[in-house]
Amino acid sequence: MKKIVVDAYGGDYAPLEIVEGAILAIKKHKDIKILLCGKKEEIEKILNGRNERIEILEASQVITNDDVPTEAIRHKKDSSLVKAYDILKENEDVIGLVSAGSTGAVLAGAIMKIGRIKGISRPALAPILPTKKDNDVIIIDSGANVDCKPINLLHFALMGSAYYSIIYNCESPRVALLNNGAEEEKGNELAKEAHKLLKDAPINFIGNKEGRDFMSGDIDVMVADGFAGNALLKGSEGAVMAVMSVLKKSIKSHFFSMIGALFMKKTFKEIKARIDILSKHGGSPLLGCKKLVVKNHGSCKRNNILSSIEQTIILYDNKLNEKIEKAITLLNDPESV
Amino acid sequence: MKKIVVDAYGGDYAPLEIVEGAILAIKKHKDIKILLCGKKEEIEKILNGRNERIEILEASQVITNDDVPTEAIRHKKDSSLVKAYDILKENEDVIGLVSAGSTGAVLAGAIMKIGRIKGISRPALAPILPTKKDNDVIIIDSGANVDCKPINLLHFALMGSAYYSIIYNCESPRVALLNNGAEEEKGNELAKEAHKLLKDAPINFIGNKEGRDFMSGDIDVMVADGFAGNALLKGSEGAVMAVMSVLKKSIKSHFFSMIGALFMKKTFKEIKARIDILSKHGGSPLLGCKKLVVKNHGSCKRNNILSSIEQTIILYDNKLNEKIEKAITLLNDPESV
């Protein structure tokens, strides 16, 4: 039976929403077991007897956003996250970890406790966003690595491509490099060098793309350093929210628009569902670690936790890490395959 | 009489829209004269006798996006842009230049022909975007400088603050640093060092802000290196367009939504006007040059040219460059003022 360890004390709505998310997953998937790390007594109260295939592992401490990540992993040995990482590391049948805790701590824990896949220079976060078409786009890296070298971006591209191909069952995802222009010679020093590496990599590289193209539907995997990637990701999210907010305000201030909005319920529902894509896919995996780690947004609710657990199962069943290993081997020795 | 030189052969709709924009400006402002650089015969045809306070300066060549900027400035001596820069440089009564040509060439021309304000390390582009509130936000730099040092970002902050204070008549604009988190110690090496400089600068620095906050209305001037700034700017633009596109598609596919949309005309008009902010403000000034240079979007029409000419007048009348000079003096010698 596959086991997944869940940090019950990470996120704004922990432990309630995390525990409820685990219960949803258990109900839906009969072949998994969930290990919840956190304060046993509180978790038991929430479970209230619904503990079939759920095991609680006592952890008295909590890592917060105020903690310095590496120090927290080193010193808060009895925290829910560190305990979860210990369990992930020590048990072969534990296939992955889900946490909605501090991004920095989840990242530090992954590197310090689990380690990188051989050949991968840096693990990276690859969240999903909707596009204006029906397909989705991922951005890698979205903030785990704010200072990057060209080789890091090459590895992001390989990992992002492998990940996208699994979750969308797509053989050859279109990989683009975030740049300030489409021309090959465009970009900062990092992008220029990365472009050269991506051109020769065993991926479907479609060249430089601008931030403007991110949600066009013409890109599957956008590769960027974590700083610019974070700006693009959060800028896009913020802009979508801004438009929705302006729309709402304007509707409220015109009588006829309010009438119109009533007729448009279906449209608004459709848009909301499209924007709320994270509920569907759960959090963002931290790609490139020896075991699966899925990081959820701090504000996530039970459905997001369910999705993250499901994503862990899908990535495990479809051998994500083996695919990444294969890609890196192929990169380093093209004749090996 | 103030003179403004306009590159009549820059932009997708040149020369027609550029020349028509100049005519609009002449009609509206009785105290200016426009110098149009480009192919005399063609421009005269468009003017068709409407040449009051408009002078044409023959330039037979055109710089395109395919030209290497510095080479084009050096070798296409008879191009409309180089001619325009020559005129701007040589005539004291020519207060500024407007072009919708290649960004790289406009930038290269400004540096090579006009030069920087003393003490300013790099000129920068500062386009305006709407926010979800009633105020607007500028981002500096948005792509003129893709590899930056901390001192560049400090100068961007000073220039952006001076510019924003003029166009919005606002004494102390809120200046933020683009970062991947709000905490002081967040960011890549560049952002961390820039944060220290901005903290001590003679501006209203409100700290690190994420891309998500860009259109929140709580920031007036967002400071970033040109690469991340470009990702943020274009990502935001792209996201807004994506939402509008999804909205449109959804409306078209539901009968009731189509009815609703008819009722919502006022709302859609309001949103369109808010998004189309560039028509109001014209292009983006290239801040930090010895003379005023306003760069328009390549796809701009006559109204944008009009706005850019008007922006040049406003920035001149309100002594933008003197304000920037004063800020840089104050920065280097706090006791001088």
pLDDT in tens, B13-61: 999 999 999 999 999 999 999 999 999 999 999 999 999 999 999 999 9
| Low-confidence winner among A154-168, A248-262, A265-279 (lowest mean pLDDT) | A265-279
Residue B332: per-residue pLDDT: 86
Q: pLDDT tens, B82-112? A: 999 999 999 999 999 999 999 999 999 999 9
Q: pLDDT tens, B171-194? A: 999 999 999 999 888 999 999 999
**Secondary structure of B159-228 as H, E, C letters:** HHHHHHHHHCCCCCCEEEEECCCCCCCCCCHHHHHHHHHHHCCCCEEEEEECHHHCCCCCCCEEECCHHH
Put simply, whether B69 touches A (Cβ < 8 Å) is no
Question: Radius of gyration over alpha carbons of chain B, in Å?
Answer: 21
Share of chain B above pLDDT 70, in %: 98
Q: Do B146 and A180 touch (CB under 8 A)?
A: yes
Residue B57: per-residue pLDDT: 97
Q: What is the mean pLDDT of residues A327-334?
A: 89
The pLDDT of residue B278 is above 80: no
Q: What is the mean pLDDT of residues A277-285?
A: 71
Instruction: Report how far residue A61's alpha carbon sits from residue A191's, in angstroms, rounded to the nearest whole number.
Output: 41
Residue A268: per-residue pLDDT: 86
Query: Mean pLDDT, chain B, as a whole number?
Result: 94
> Which ranges of chain A would DSSP assign to H, the alpha helix?
16-28, 40-47, 69-75, 80-90, 103-109, 150-167, 189-199, 226-253, 255-263, 265-275, 277-281, 302-317, 320-332
The pLDDT of residue B320 is above 60: yes
Instruction: Report how far residue B270's alpha carbon sits from residue B122's, in angstroms, rounded to the nearest whole number.
Output: 37
Identify the DSSP state of A78.
T
pLDDT band at A142 (very low <50, low <70, confident <90, very high): very high
Residue B252: per-residue pLDDT: 87
Instruction: Report how far residue B13's alpha carbon sits from residue B299's, in angstroms, rounded to the nearest whole number.
Output: 7
Burial class, B82, CB count within 10 angstroms (exposed 0-12 / middle 13-18 / buried 19+): buried
Side-chain half-sphere CA neighbours of A77 within 13 A: 1
Contact A66, A101 (CB under 8 A): no
Distance from CA of B237 to the nearest CA of A (A): 6
Which B residues, 201 through 230, put their C-beta within 8 Å of a C-beta on chain A? 210-216, 224-230
Of B143, B239, B264, the CB nearest to A236: B239
Residue B50: per-residue pLDDT: 96
DSSP one-letter string for B114-169: I-BPTT-S--EE--EEE-SSSSEEEEE-SSS-SS--HHHHHHHHHHHHHHHHHHTT
At residue A43, φ and ψ (nearest 5 deg) are -65, -40
Q: Do A256 and B266 touch (CB under 8 A)?
A: yes
* Run of H or E including B71: helix B69-75
Q: pLDDT tens, A108-136? A: 999 999 999 999 999 999 999 999 999 99
Residue A283: per-residue pLDDT: 84
Query: Mean pLDDT, chain A, as a whole number?
Result: 94
Burial class, A131, CB count within 10 angstroms (exposed 0-12 / middle 13-18 / buried 19+): buried
Q: pLDDT tens, A286-316? A: 999 999 999 998 889 999 999 999 999 999 9
Q: pLDDT tens, B101-149? A: 999 999 999 999 999 999 999 999 999 999 999 999 999 999 999 999 9
Paired sense of beta strands A32-38 and B292-295, if any: unpaired
Q: Do A211 and B226 touch (CB under 8 A)?
A: no
Q: Do A256 and B240 touch (CB under 8 A)?
A: no
* Residue B109 vs residue A272, higher pLDDT: B109
Instruction: Report how far residue B116's alpha carbon sits from residue B82's, in angstroms, rounded to the nearest whole number.
Output: 17
Instruction: Report how far residue A248's alpha carbon sits from residue B104's, in angstroms, rounded to the nearest whole number.
Output: 39
Put simply, whether A151 touches B (Cβ < 8 Å) is no
Instruction: Report how far residue B127's alpha carbon sits from residue B226's, in angstroms, rounded to the nearest whole number.
Output: 12
* Residue A140 vs residue A269, higher pLDDT: A140
Question: What amino acid is encoded at A66 in this protein?
Answer: D
pLDDT band at B280 (very low <50, low <70, confident <90, very high): low
Q: What ipTM describes this predicted complex?
A: 0.93
> Closest Cα partner for A107 from A153, A157, A69?
A69
Q: What is the mean pLDDT of residues A233-241?
A: 93
Residues of A within 8 A of B274 (CB-CB) are 246
